[in-house]
């Protein structure tokens, strides 16, 4: 059974409290937990905990991210549904509690998640005991609502690569997809059509100087993905 070290709920309120280390946790994993716990907050986003895949790795850290201004539309915060990785946002479920206006929140909000997975027997293509997997949904910037061509999706993917390279990821380890979705209205409907981009990525985080030879700076991986959600793509 995987040991799940999710990002502490309302962590910004408890940053003076050191998390308790469970028994038998590898040093590399625990240093990653502390890295996320102590990372700088990203202006304009809120963090919450999400489940990590139990079947892929022995240990994991799961962080959900939502752009703060988007949650204020209804006063509803994203929540951990607790029903496993297969129903994460982008994997068949909205990943939110179900208020009356959940569809409006999901369509308009910029949100996503990142998981950092640790395996003592990783797949060869990881080239590490660690692998990051992340998803985000970002509304199209004004003027790009009708962009669906390969040039703009390539631009979105380059933005993802740039963010991850700033986190130290080797470009050759980055893989993922860009999906464009839009609303099509019939009959009496609003004139302002909305579009959004769904970005999925996985990459191998670089080794760091702490946590032994398998140590990584998990905090910078979360921070960079949060910046992508906060800033969007022009």
The percent of residues in the chain predicted with pLDDT above 70, rounded, is 65
Q: Is it the case that residue 46 has pLDDT exceeding 80?
A: yes
Q: How confident is the model at residue 101 (pLDDT cuts 50, 70, 90)?
A: very low
From 155, 175, 163, 181, select the one nearest 229 (Cα to Cα).
163
- H-helix or E-strand spanning residue 159: helix 150-166
Half-sphere exposure of 67 toward its Cβ, with a 13 Å CA cutoff? 20
Query: pTM for this one?
Result: 0.77
58 contacts: CB under 8 Å, gap ≥ 6: 2, 3, 118, 119, 120
Mean residue pLDDT of the chain comes to: 74
**Cβ atoms < 10 Å from Cβ of 170:** 13
Can you give the pLDDT at residue 152? 80
Can you give the pLDDT at residue 12? 38
For the record, the structure tokens of 93 come out as 């479920």
Summarize the confidence of residues 97-106 as an average pLDDT: 37
209 vs 213: CA distance, rounded Å? 8
Can you give the pLDDT at residue 147? 54
18 vs 123: CA distance, rounded Å? 32
CA distances from 83 to 48, 95, 126, 148 (A): 15, 10, 26, 33
Phi then psi dihedrals of residue 83, to 5 deg = -115, 25
Q: How confident is the model at residue 173 (pLDDT cuts 50, 70, 90)?
A: very high
User: Which range, of 7-16, 153-162, 181-190, 195-204, averages the lowest pLDDT?
Assistant: 7-16
214-230: pLDDT as tens digits: 889 999 999 999 999 99
52, 61 Cβ separation under 8 angstroms: yes
């Amino acid at each position: 059974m995987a040991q799940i070290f999710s990002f502490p709920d309302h962590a910004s309120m408890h940053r003076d409290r050191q998390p308790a280390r469970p028994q038998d946790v590898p040093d590399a994993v625990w240093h990653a937990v502390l890295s996320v716990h102590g990372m700088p907050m990203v202006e304009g986003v809120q963090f919450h905990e999400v489940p990590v895949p139990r079947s892929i790795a022995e240990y994991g850290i799961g962080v959900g991210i939502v752009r703060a201004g988007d949650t204020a539309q209804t006063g509803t915060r994203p929540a951990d549904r607790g029903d496993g990785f297969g129903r994460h946002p982008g994997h068949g479920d909205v990943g939110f509690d179900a208020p009356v206006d959940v569809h409006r929140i999901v369509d308009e909000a910029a949100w996503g998640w990142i998981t950092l997975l640790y395996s003592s027997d990783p797949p060869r293509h990881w080239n590490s005991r660690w692998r990051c997997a992340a998803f985000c949904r970002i509304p199209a910037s004004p003027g790009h609502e009708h962009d669906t061509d390969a040039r703009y999706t390539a631009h979105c993917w380059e933005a993802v690569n740039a963010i991850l390279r700033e986190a130290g990821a080797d470009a050759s380890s980055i893989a993922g997809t860009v999906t464009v979705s839009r609303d099509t209205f019939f009959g009496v409907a609003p004139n302002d059509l909305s579009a959004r981009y769904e970005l999925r990525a996985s990459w191998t985080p670089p080794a760091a100087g702490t946590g032994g030879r398998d140590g990584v700076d998990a905090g910078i991986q979360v921070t960079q993905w949060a910046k992508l959600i906060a800033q969007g793509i022009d």
